[in-house]
Structure 1
Amino acid sequence: MPARSQAQQKAAGAALSAKRGDTPKSKLHGASKQMVESMTEAQLEELAATRRKGKPDHVRH
């Protein structure tokens, strides 16, 4: 599933970094903090790999 917004893509990248141990989990905020606990590394990779070009900054539910 590709990211729907730039914010979602950035949050997935931060969560992926924490899941791999490159960034401490204590530095995460908001959605990225929830993503690291609820998603697998493969799911996070897929979201983080989404191109940002043409994506809106934020998407409301």
Structure 2
Amino acid sequence: MPAKSQAQQMAAGAALSAKRGEKKVSELDGAAKQMYESMDEKELEKMASAKQKGKPKHDSKS
């Protein structure tokens, strides 16, 4: 599932970095920490890799 907003995409990227060991889990907060705990690396990769063009900065539905 691709990200619905730029903020969601950034959080997925941060969580993915932690999954890969490039970033400490203790540095994550909020949505990124939730994503780290609930999604696997493949799901995070899919969410973080979508293009940002045309996406709102924040999803207004959340």
Report the TM range for the smaller structure's normalisation: over 0.9
Kindly report structure 1 stretches of 4+ aligned residues shifted beyond 4 Å: none
Instruction: Supply the distance in 2 between the matched residues of 1:19 and 1:2 (Cα, whole angstroms).
Output: 18
RMSD between superposed Cα atoms in Å: 0.6
Aligned residue number for residue 49 of structure 1? 49
- What is the deviation of 1:29? 1.1
Q: How many residues align?
A: 61
The answer for the alignment partner of 1:18 in structure 2 is: 18
SS of match in other structure, 1:22: coil
The equivalent residue for 1:37 is 37
Partner of 2:12: helix, strand, or coil?
helix
Q: What is the TM-score with the length of structure 2 in the denominator?
A: 0.94
Point out where structure 1 has 5 or more consecutive residues left out of the alignment.
none
